[in-house]
């Protein structure tokens, strides 16, 4: 019998293992548009999927790297991220999602047969995949599902959508696409899907004020730390006491956040400063002057 879902309980670590993400474009766009923080003018940034999904997995207790993303859609969006494979399928309006199901099922079966990864992240709500999820788990793989807030109460969900509830119950981790993740994966109305603009932070692209940059970095770090659950804070403290760096997933997430705030990529020294701030915050040390 499956356990009822409890946020962040029973944290497991799978160091060094890879994850393949299979993403139904229709479903992910629905998740983003259904969030209160999303705007109709915002666009999905596929370049951010690796870091966002990696951060979400870590938040739900799975320490793994997203090796590759398979993107299933009926039209090309003009984006060309690294480590992503586009699968063109028919529109669900034409065949009820049969093409999507057939293509995604084939890829999932191949991953299982070839033991290509330890973890599979499914971003889809097609409950016809439930038997394949079960088969993958019986072969030793962990399968995780991205969902909305409805997965917090499966008993209630089973009354209105029993198929979706059964699929979520089958998953090893039910990972909620919370508001912060939505913001991370969307390009703001004034942004570009390919990359954030590379101008300097400050008026008229002048040289940035170091103290202003430090202040902005600190705001991002503090906001992230304030939202971290206490159990993950304790895990990070233990991990950083024995390590000189910071976890890759945390690093990616914070770099993405700072890039949005500054509207440019960080310099080497700024990245170094950001990581020092993270260590100081996690280990509760006074930051360096």
Q: Quick one: average pLDDT of 126-152? A: 95
In 10 A of CB 165, how many CB atoms?
A: 20
- Residue 16: pLDDT over 80: no
Tokens representing 174 are 């039910």
All residues at 6 or more sequence positions from 15 whose CB lies less than 8 Å from its CB, including other chains: 63
Would you kindly state where each structural domain of the chain is located, as residue ranges? 18-187, 203-282
The tens digit of pLDDT for each residue in 239-255 reads: 888 777 788 778 888 88
Q: Which of 65-79, 168-182, 227-241 has the lowest mean pLDDT?
A: 227-241
Q: Identify which has the larger pLDDT, 32 or 11.
A: 32
Which residues, at least 6 apart from 7, have a Cβ–Cβ distance to it below 8 Å? 152, 229
Find the mean pLDDT for residues 167-196. Answer: 76
Here the tokens at position 208 are 């940035």
Q: What is the largest CA-CA distance in the chain?
A: 62
Q: Are 160 and 228 in contact (CB under 8 A)?
A: no
Options 3.40.50.720, 3.40.50.2300, 3.40.50.1010, 3.50.50.60; CATH for 18-187 is 3.40.50.1010
- Helix, strand or coil, per DSSP, at residue 55: helix
C-alpha count within 13 angstroms, C-beta hemisphere, residue 259:
22
The pLDDT of residue 193 is: 46
Nearest to 25 by CA among 70, 68, 83, 72: 72
In terms of pTM, does the model score above 0.85?
no
Residue 190 has pLDDT above 60, yes or no: no
Lowest mean pLDDT among 113-117, 195-199, 248-252: 195-199
């Amino acid at each position: 019998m499956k356990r009822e879902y409890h946020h962040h309980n029973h944290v497991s670590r799978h160091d060094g293992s890879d994850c393949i993400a299979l993403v139904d474009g229709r479903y992910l766009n629905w998740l983003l548009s259904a969030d209160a923080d999303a705007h109709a003018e915002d666009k999905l940034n596929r370049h951010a999927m690796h870091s966002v999904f990696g951060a979400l997995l870590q938040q739900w207790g799975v320490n793994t790297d997203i090796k590759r993303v398979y993107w299933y859609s009926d039209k090309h969006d003009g984006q060309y991220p690294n480590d992503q494979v586009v699968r063109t399928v028919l529109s669900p309006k034409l065949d009820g999602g049969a093409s999507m199901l057939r293509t995604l099922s084939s890829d999932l079966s191949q991953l299982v047969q070839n033991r290509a990864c330890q973890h599979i992240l499914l971003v889809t709500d097609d409950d016809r995949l439930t038997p394949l999820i079960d088969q993958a788990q019986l072969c030793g793989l962990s399968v995780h599902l991205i969902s909305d807030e409805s997965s917090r109460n499966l008993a209630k969900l089973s009354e209105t959508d029993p198929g979706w509830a059964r699929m979520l119950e089958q998953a090893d981790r039910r990972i909620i696409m919370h508001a912060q993740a939505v913001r991370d994966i969307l390009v703001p109305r004034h942004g570009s899907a390919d990359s954030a603009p590379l101008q300097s932070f400050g008026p008229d692209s002048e040289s940035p004020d170091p103290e202003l940059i430090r202040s902005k970095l600190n705001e991002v770090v503090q906001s992230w730390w304030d939202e971290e659950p206490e159990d993950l804070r304790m895990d990070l403290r233990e991990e950083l006491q024995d390590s000189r760096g910071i976890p890759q997933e945390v690093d990616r997430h914070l770099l993405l956040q700072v890039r949005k705030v500054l509207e440019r990529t960080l310099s080497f020294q700024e990245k170094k400063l950001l990581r020092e701030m993270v260590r100081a915050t996690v280990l509760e040390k006074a930051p360096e002057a």
